[in-house]
Amino acid sequence: MRPCPALRLVALVLLSMLTLACQPRPDSPPEGGRFVQRELVHDGRSYRYAVFVPAATEARPLPVVLFLHGSGERGRDGHAQTTAGLGNWIRGQAGSFPALVVFPQVPGNEEWMGANARMALATLDAASSEFNGDPLRTYATGMSMGGYGVWEVALLAPDRFAALVPVCGGVRIPREARPTLFVTAVANEADPYTALATRLEQVPAWIFHGALDDLVPPTDDRRLFEAARAVGADFRYTEYPAGNHNAWDATYSDPAMWDWLFDQRLR
């Protein structure tokens, strides 16, 4: 007896639903670690942020990386900041990446300064507490706008971070079209580069930039590195000769950078 067409249609629909249900969510790695969404109320405002929880969590406390995104990932969805830079790279390393990663998000057209820098530190506190982050192995990295943000949060809490990795960031305004992008804590200093390097003299930092960057020119990072050398700060500088603004893909895929970062710890 031939099967009823209606029954065949129902079976096909059920099979399609089962197939979709078994597929991983687009914002989740196929295996290993996972991204979770959290919400924080800070200074009367509500912020959504994401946390990458590594696959192997038995070796606790976990090293913690605070990641500060660039201009294109601003918003309130709590997800966009995981789709470029470090979050995008981690998705391909979900089974082996050993650290907790905290992804706060700047709303609207705001910057990583003032309340948003304090919010980033608050998300770091919350995630470290929830997932048993290691206070001796806590790091900050960020790209572009987030590169500036690394200096912002480090100057707010200079004893918090074991090491810093700012990527294609800067200190002063990079161009006239972006007058709100600068490191506020040293903005009024006659020499902001020396002031920053002096205040963070004991915090190891590895700065990365593209030599051909036409959005945030490398001039600031070069001057900062020279100032750091002059005051004896523990800063490194790598410039990609053929690199433009996207210095983050090369940086986050560099095993030497991660080896160096995870070797640092507060003493």
Q: What's the chain's average pLDDT?
A: 90
Compute the average pLDDT of residues 164-171: 98
What is the C-alpha to C-alpha distance for residues 12 and 191, in angstroms, rounded to an integer? 69
Question: For 171-180, what is each residue's pLDDT tens digit?
Answer: 999 999 999 9
Identify the CA nearest to 237 among candidates 245, 226, 247.
226
Provide the pLDDT for residue 57.
67
Provide the pLDDT for residue 267.
83
Residues of the chain with pLDDT > 70: what percent? 87
Per DSSP, the three-state class of 236 is: strand
Provide the pLDDT for residue 26.
40
What is the C-alpha to C-alpha distance for residues 45 and 42, in angstroms, rounded to an integer? 5
Compute the average pLDDT of residues 19-45: 68
Question: For 110-154, what is each residue's pLDDT tens digit?
Answer: 999 999 999 999 999 999 999 999 999 999 999 999 999 999 999
Strand pairing of 133-143 and 205-210? unpaired
Domains of the chain with bracketed CATH = 35-263 (3.40.50.1820)
